[in-house]
Amino acid sequence: MVRRTGLLPAVFVGIVVVYLYAPIAVIVLFSVTTSPRLSMPIEGLTLDWYANAFSNPLMSTALQNSLALALVSAIVSGAFGATLSFGIVALKGGRMRAALLSASLLPAIVPLLVIGISLAVFFRALGLPQGLFNSAVGHIIVSLPFVVLTMNARLETFDFSTLEAARDLGATPYQAFRDITFPMIRPSIIGAALLAAALSLDEFVVTWFNIGNQQTVPVLVWGLMRRGVDPSINAIATLLLVLLVGLVVASNLVNRKKSSA
């Protein structure tokens, strides 16, 4: 086990990474090739598919809706996730803490399909027509477990004696929260909110059962996929990919900054 970094592990990791990234590479590649028939050999390069994608009148609506949903999810999930994980970490009793944490992670292991249809049933029972609001609720439920999980990992290292120190120096509970707690966990909240935005932007299943006739980028892509091979899908997918990776990398950077400060 010691220092025998043979070739085998490297090859193995390489194969796995290729397995995970080949699909992504294919999409990006075919978003700029002329052949509409997604096959080898490649004939030429073009940006037509991007132009094509944006000429679709549904595209701008879908993008607007997606961004709005992402923003709402980021703010609401960020706020809820932060307060929830802070409460969980602050709890003294170990068992209560573990139980609450598991409960808040539950939506992550329930199949999205089940979450999606249960929300659809719920909103129908309330008499609320399907639409963006319903989808936003779904996005928040889906992203909350991941927000809680990342926040929780960061908060484990939170030094609660700083709060006592603030109180001791004359701060009221509210002032201690405003001056100490919030500034200290702000980077984690922003990181978690960016993650929630990414999850929302990519959400399809729950959206599909709750959005009715409205569009989001994944719903639009789904429609195009069902219809058959359309290279503008690759273009939209690549755009989505850039957005998602940007958000996730930003989320990581924000979180990292906190630990070095």
Partner 1 sequence: MTNEPSTQSGQARLTLAAMIPASVFYAAFFAVPMVCLLVLSFWTTKSFVLIPGFSLANYVKVFTSPLYQALMLRTVGVALATTAIIVPTAFALAYCMRFVFERRGQLILQVVLLSLFSGYLVRIYAWRTILGKQGLLNSTLEWTGLINEPLEFLIYSNFAVVVTLSGLLLPLAVLPLYSAMLNVPRDHLEAARDLGAGRLHILRTVLVPMTLPGLRTAFAFSFLLAAGDFVTPSLVGGTQSMLIGNIVADQFRGIGSNWPLGAAMAFVVVAIMLAVYLSTTRLIRWVTRW
Partner 2 sequence: MGVSKLFGDTRALEHIDFRVEDGEFVSLLGASGCGKSTLLRILAGFERPTTGTVQIYQQDVTQWPPEKRPTNLVFQRGALFPHMTVRENIGYSLKLRRWTPSRIDARIEEMLALVRLDGLGDRAPSQLSGGQAQRVALARALASEPRVLLLDEPLSALDLKLRQQMQLELRAIQKRLGATFVFVTHDQTEALVMSDRIAIMNNGRIVQYGTPRDIYRRPNSVFVSDFVGATNLLSGVVGSIDGERIVLQTASGAFAAPKGTEQLRKGERAVLSLRPEAVRLHPGTGRTAEGSSVSGNIAEIIFQGNCVRIGTQILPDATIWAELRDDEADGLTPGDPVTLSWAESAAAVMKEEPQ
C-beta of 259: minimal distance to partner 2 in Å?
10
SS (H, E, C) the chain: CCCCCCHHHHHHHHHHHHHHHHHHHHHHHHCCECCCCCCCCCCCECCHHHHHHHHCHHHHHHHHHHHHHHHHHHHHHHHHHHHHHHHHHHCCCHHHHHHHHHHHHHHHCCCHHHHHHHHHHHHHHHCCCCCHHHHHHHHHHHHHHHHHHHHHHHHCCCCCHHHHHHHHCCCCHHHHHHHHHHHHHHHHHHHHHHHHHHHHHHCCHHHHHHCCCCCCHHHHHHHHHHHCCCCHHHHHHHHHHHHHHHHHHHHHHHHHHHHHC
69 near partner 1, judged by CB under 8 A: no
Residue 86 interface partner, choices partner 1, partner 2, none, CB cut-off 5-8 Å depending on type: partner 1
Q: Name which of 43 and 168 has its Cβ closer to partner 2.
A: 168
C-beta of 151: minimal distance to partner 2 in Å?
17
184 near partner 1, judged by CB under 8 A: no
Positions in 139-168 near partner 1 (CB under 8 A):
140-141, 144, 163-164, 167
Positions in 194-233 near partner 1 (CB under 8 A):
198, 202-205, 208-209, 218, 221-222, 225, 233
Q: Name which of 161 and 213 has its Cβ closer to partner 2.
A: 161
96 near partner 1, judged by CB under 8 A: no
Q: Which residues bind partner 2 (CB under 8 A)?
A: 159, 161-162, 164-172, 175, 179-180, 183-184, 261
Q: Name which of 81 and 187 has its Cβ closer to partner 2.
A: 187
24 near partner 1, judged by CB under 8 A: yes
Q: Name which of 5 and 161 has its Cβ closer to partner 2.
A: 161
C-beta of 185: minimal distance to partner 2 in Å?
10
